[in-house]
Amino acid sequence: MIRHRVLTSLWPALAGTALSACALAMPIRDDTAATLRLSAPAQRIVSLSPGTTEMLFAAGAGDRIVATVTGADVPDAAKKIPRIGDANGLVFDRLIALKPDAVVVWKDLTNELVLDSLVNKLKLNVYFVSIRRLEDIPQSVRRLGVLAGTSATADDAAKTLEAQLAHLPTRAGVAKSARRPVDVFFMFLDSPLYTVGSRSAMADAITRCGGRNLYDDIDFPMPIVEFKDLKKRNPDLILMSAPPITAREWRERWAPFTDVKAVANRQLVAYPDQRLVRMGPSAIDAVPELCKLIDGARR
């Protein structure tokens, strides 16, 4: 198996296939406004993140997914799809053998080496998903419906998501509120310290819930931050994206730092819910519970 490597002898053949397909091309725009040219709606799709897999199912294109990655287990039907890699890399020879019409990737969270191989070396049809706010999700689902030729299903799903969004707090409404904002540090890992920047559905949800994402000044979805800087910013609430046992270990490592408000006030909270982390359609359903946690830290 080949990880982060491709067989250069296959590139010309793949490039030739891509060029011949463009002869009868239909333009399809992705979330970044880039245009793909396919001869027909994509019938064979490779999805390279759990979030894009969930979104493709919502768009009615779950049966078009021929491969995905480890962790793509929502909805349940996704568990049956073959895996061709994980966060550490892809098995490119298996990807090539699948002959996908389109490869759907998360633009901001995909390894640059992987992107370079997909776009510049293999010359595959790469479709970018980009979600920076919760309200981006319905329109992204609609676009995936165009990609797969399932627009009717995708539009129905998008309308349902928009109705759910309408019941959530808005950023504008929170800005006018007299409630004290809660400074929130969302922790993906403790070594190194991964958190959320401004370009993510999680950051948007925190704001809608009356929180202040501690690193909203960083224009990147998942930055690494320094512990010294984190202490200086002094969060009210630390949400630990981990199962209970791991979260307990992280909490123990924080225990000596009682000069941090979240530690002093016992506001280091396990947050095992992956819906907002995954950033698929179910992220919208996760917001009310997040708001309860943030409200609890305000009291």
Mean pLDDT, residues 223-242 taken together: 96
- Residue pair 188/222 in contact (Cβ under 8 Å)? The answer is yes
The per-residue pLDDT for range 65-81, each reduced to its tens digit, is: 999 999 999 999 999 99
User: Is the pLDDT at 13 greater than 80, yes or no?
Assistant: no
Domain ranges of the chain: 8-165, 171-298
* Burial bucket for residue 270 (CB in 10 Å: 0-12, 13-18, 19+): middle
Instruction: Determine the 3-state secondary structure of 278 from DSSP.
Output: helix
- Alpha carbons 141 and 124: distance in angstroms, whole number: 21
**With bands split at pLDDT 50, 70 and 90, how would you rate the model's confidence at 10?**
very low
pLDDT tens-digit map of 131-143: 999 999 999 999 9
**123 or 116, which is more confident?**
123
pLDDT interval class at 8 (50, 70, 90): very low
The alpha-carbon radius of gyration of the chain (Å, integer) is: 21
* Fold (CATH) for 171-298: Rossmann fold (3.40.50)
φ, ψ (nearest 5 deg) of residue 189: -140, 155
Decide: pTM greater than 0.75.
yes
**8-165 against 171-298: fold identical:** yes
Look up tokens 């019938």; give the residue: 43
Q: 196 by DSSP, 3-state: which?
A: coil
pLDDT, residue 175, reads: 67
Domain spanning 8-165: which CATH class is it, in words? alpha beta
The per-residue pLDDT for 4 is 43
Q: Taking the chain, what is the end-to-end CA distance rounded to the nearest angstrom?
A: 54
